[in-house]
Every structure is written in structure tokens, then in C-alpha cells.
Amino acid sequence: MASSPTYWLKVAFGLAVTLVALLLFLHLALLLVGLVLLGYLGLRLAEKVMGPGTRIRLDPVILARSLGNWLAMRIAKGGR
């Protein structure tokens, strides 16, 4: 069984699919980290532009409500 060509073809295909899935997951994870870092740096730049002593606070409740409202509007419009 282990010496048949179709067995090794299936093993190679399974490994290839697994590798592609792992690379896709890693790519998406790094993209998410990059977006978060870009947002953080954007906030720090906005604080510098607004002047000394300015501190922009991110309230998780307000962020969650904003995201919820945005999602509700997208659903209400039918995804447009």
C-alpha cells in the first residue's frame, strides 16, 4: 500500500494543500497585524499634528457601537 504511486501522490497533494492553507493563514495574520500597526501609527501622528498634550483615547465600547452601526447599515442596504 505504502509503495503504490497513488498513495504517494495523495500524500504529496495533502502536504501541498496543508502548506498552502498555512501560508494563507500566515499571510492574513500578518496583514491584520500590519493594519493594526498602521492604525496605531496613524493615531500617534494625528496626536502630533493636533499639538502637544493631545491624547486620543480609544474607548472599546464606542468602537464596538460604531462597528455595530456600520454593520447594521451595510446589512440594511443589502451589502452595497
Higher pLDDT, 42 or 79: 42
The domain segmentation of the chain, as residue ranges, is 5-76
Quote the CA–CA distance of 30 and 24 in Å, as a whole number.
10
| Average pLDDT rounded to a whole number, residues 60-70 | 85
Span 27-61, pLDDT tens digits: 999 999 999 999 889 988 988 899 888 888 878 88
HSE-CB at 14 with a 13 A cutoff on CA atoms is 6
pTM: 0.56
